[in-house]
Structure 1
């Protein structure tokens, strides 16, 4: 079997772009992959086109060797654009191999270790009574792990961290009191805080209020997270933006965090994700995958979650609080994973188990999309 074609499709689906990739072979078997790095799909598509030049004619079953060749084929090591491109191709190759062998992808990763994949759901309401009511509704529907979002300003382009942490801490305490001790509660701060601000936020709440704090500060400097680790006992859930096993390495080996928010569409695909999972298991760090993209990402992550022992929860965008936007209406994805209550059942279809209506994809158009560019009240730029 030989690779005959690799086609990236950066296309608008719902409320933002998805970059899906089709890898075809001379035996008529094809696979689908998906890339992360939202908002920079054109750059990733360009990298895929470079890789395509030497992947045509190669054996799609040699996934590990092709991964190494893609990563090491340029002088410059890694980088998020390159590993996002490798991720999409790697996932598509797993889809091909599973279809060729007639087995689901999780069988290629060591076999199934669980029959269903528990998820965490996210409230969409602002900090306040509405957020608590939404959390109660999610609990009634079966979720026992819930993520809250921090307080924001009325002006969506302005963000003042100190104002947010005071309001958010107050409502996190009220939410814990309202929901009880059994439910798992976390907050995603999306890199918006400094070390001092994150420490202040945690110290405003009684111990045990939160079960995880997600991405409180930027990730460039492990030492910054190490300093924050000494100031709070709240478990950290980080790593959704990490683009290789090497980026995870200092966090795992220094015991900085407790949950890996690994993204199979950014880290280098399933090949790289399994290596990170092995290191994490040795350090008792649980996998809590980032899953903000489309059904191909969800399917690939379900197979990953099924095959690793150290798994906590999978992010889902299909809960009542954070629904997939427009995927069904676009008519693109066939056989996409569906929630059963608060879990995804692990299917047994060959490959990923998701198909794509390529003609429907071709009818979609790419639209440039930018994440919000936030500023503080004084006009300075801050993180989104």
Structure 2
């Protein structure tokens, strides 16, 4: 069997563009992958065109060797654009191999360690009574872990010091109403400084939150070490990391407790399994980032099934986020489906996802960019 083509499809799914990637072979077996660099799909398409020149004609079963070929094929190795392209190819190769051998992908990763994958859901309302009502609805639907809504932004303006006390107040209230059994966290999306994040943590009673996700930017591990000295709330970090090397200082310096690994950004399943093993040795749990579509979900479900140190998988298909439209059955007639708050592990060969390619081909590229936020003084801040 030989690789014959790599085809990139920027497709509008739900509320934004996602980049699907199809790898074809001369025996008619094909695989699907997905890139995680949402909003910069054209850059990833360019990288895929370069990579196709290298691997067309290669044996798709040689997944590890292809990974090394792609990573080492340029003097300037790595980076988020190249890693996102490599991730999509890597996932598609596992899909091909599973289909060709007649086994689900988790069997290629060491076998299944769990029969279903627990998830965490996210409330979508502004902090307040509506947020708590959503959280109660999620608990009734079976969720035992969830991410609460931080106080948001006013159109294009975000002022952390205005929103921190509101979020802290309603996180505290949520814990009082929901009780101690449910796992609660907040994602700050890199919006805060060290001082702002510390102030947020200090405004809540100890035990309010079970995890604090991405409160500050992650380029400088020393900044997280500084924040760690100011709070004992567990950190969930890593959705932007594009290699095992980016995870290295966080794992080995005991900075965080949950790895928010993104299969579609980190280098695919090949790289994700290495990060998982490394994390297991340091008692860091895998808590995968999963904001995309069914291909990302399926790949991450297989990953979650095969690793020992797993906590929860992010889902954006809960009753609290139905407005997002990620569950697009027209484009993906076969895909992972939630059963209450868990994903059953697929038993079909490969990833267990089917794509309506005819419908994909009818779409024109639609530009999407993340919201651009400013402070009231006009300076730029994070989304």
Shorter-chain TM-score: what band?
over 0.9
CA offsets per residue over residues 107-139 of structure 1, 9 Å max, x none? Answer: 000000000000001101100011001100000
Aligned match of 2:321? 322
Q: What is the CA distance between 1:220 and its match in structure 2?
A: 0.5
Aligned match of 2:221? 222
Alignment of 1:1-384 (within 5 A): 1-153=1-153, 155-323=154-322, 325-326=324-325, 331-384=330-383
Q: What is the CA distance between 1:354 and its match in structure 2?
A: 0.2
Is the contact made by 1:63 and 1:90 (CA closer than 8 Å) also made in structure 2?
A: yes
Q: Distance in 1 between matches of 2:256 and 2:326?
A: 34
Q: What is the CA distance between 1:13 and its match in structure 2?
A: 2.3
Q: Distance in 2 between matches of 1:194 and 1:149?
A: 19
Q: What SS is found at the alignment partner of 2:261?
A: coil
Q: Distance in 2 between matches of 1:198 and 1:326?
A: 31
Q: Distance in 2 between matches of 1:308 and 1:162?
A: 39
Q: Distance in 1 between matches of 2:287 and 2:274?
A: 15
Is the contact made by 1:161 and 1:197 (CA closer than 8 Å) also made in structure 2?
A: yes
Q: Distance in 1 between matches of 2:297 and 2:112?
A: 16
Q: What SS is found at the alignment partner of 1:228?
A: helix
Q: What is the CA distance between 1:324 and its match in structure 2?
A: 7.3
Q: What SS is found at the alignment partner of 1:356?
A: coil
CA offsets per residue over residues 303-344 of structure 1, 9 Å max, x none? Answer: 000000000000001101123744565711121110000000
> What residue ranges of structure 2 are gaps of 5+ in the alignment?
none
Q: Distance in 2 between matches of 1:141 and 1:382?
A: 36
Q: What SS is found at the alignment partner of 2:319?
A: coil
Q: What is the CA distance between 1:12 and its match in structure 2?
A: 1.7
CA offsets per residue over residues 22-77 of structure 1, 9 Å max, x none? Answer: 00111110000000011000000110010001111000000000000100100002
Is the contact made by 2:317 and 2:326 (CA closer than 8 Å) also made in structure 1?
A: no
Aligned in 2, Cα 1:270/1:329: closer, same or farther, shift over 3 Å? Answer: closer
Q: What SS is found at the alignment partner of 1:339?
A: coil
Aligned in 2, Cα 1:278/1:328: closer, same or farther, shift over 3 Å? Answer: closer
Q: Distance in 2 between matches of 1:183 and 1:11?
A: 36
Q: Distance in 2 between matches of 1:358 and 1:335?
A: 13
Is the contact made by 1:330 and 1:360 (CA closer than 8 Å) also made in structure 2?
A: no
Q: What SS is found at the alignment partner of 2:201?
A: helix
Q: Distance in 1 between matches of 2:96 and 2:323?
A: 26
**RMSD, aligned CA:** 1.0
Q: What SS is found at the alignment partner of 2:143?
A: coil
Is the contact made by 1:318 and 1:324 (CA closer than 8 Å) also made in structure 2?
A: no
Q: What is the CA distance between 1:156 and its match in structure 2?
A: 2.0
Q: What SS is found at the alignment partner of 1:292?
A: coil
TM (norm. structure 1) is: 0.98
Q: Distance in 2 between matches of 1:117 and 1:238?
A: 20
Q: What is the CA distance between 1:106 and its match in structure 2?
A: 0.2
Q: What is the CA distance between 1:350 and its match in structure 2?
A: 0.2
Is the contact made by 1:210 and 1:234 (CA closer than 8 Å) also made in structure 2?
A: yes
Q: Distance in 2 between matches of 1:233 and 1:126?
A: 26
TM (norm. structure 2) is: 0.99
Q: What SS is found at the alignment partner of 2:31?
A: strand
Q: What is the CA distance between 1:2 and its match in structure 2?
A: 0.2
Q: What is the CA distance between 1:14 and its match in structure 2?
A: 2.6
Is the contact made by 1:236 and 1:257 (CA closer than 8 Å) also made in structure 2?
A: yes
Q: Distance in 2 between matches of 1:149 and 1:220?
A: 24
Aligned residues: 383
Is the contact made by 1:259 and 1:288 (CA closer than 8 Å) also made in structure 2?
A: yes
Q: What is the CA distance between 1:242 and its match in structure 2?
A: 0.4
Q: Distance in 1 between matches of 2:130 and 2:242?
A: 36
Aligned in 2, Cα 1:329/1:73: closer, same or farther, shift over 3 Å? Answer: closer
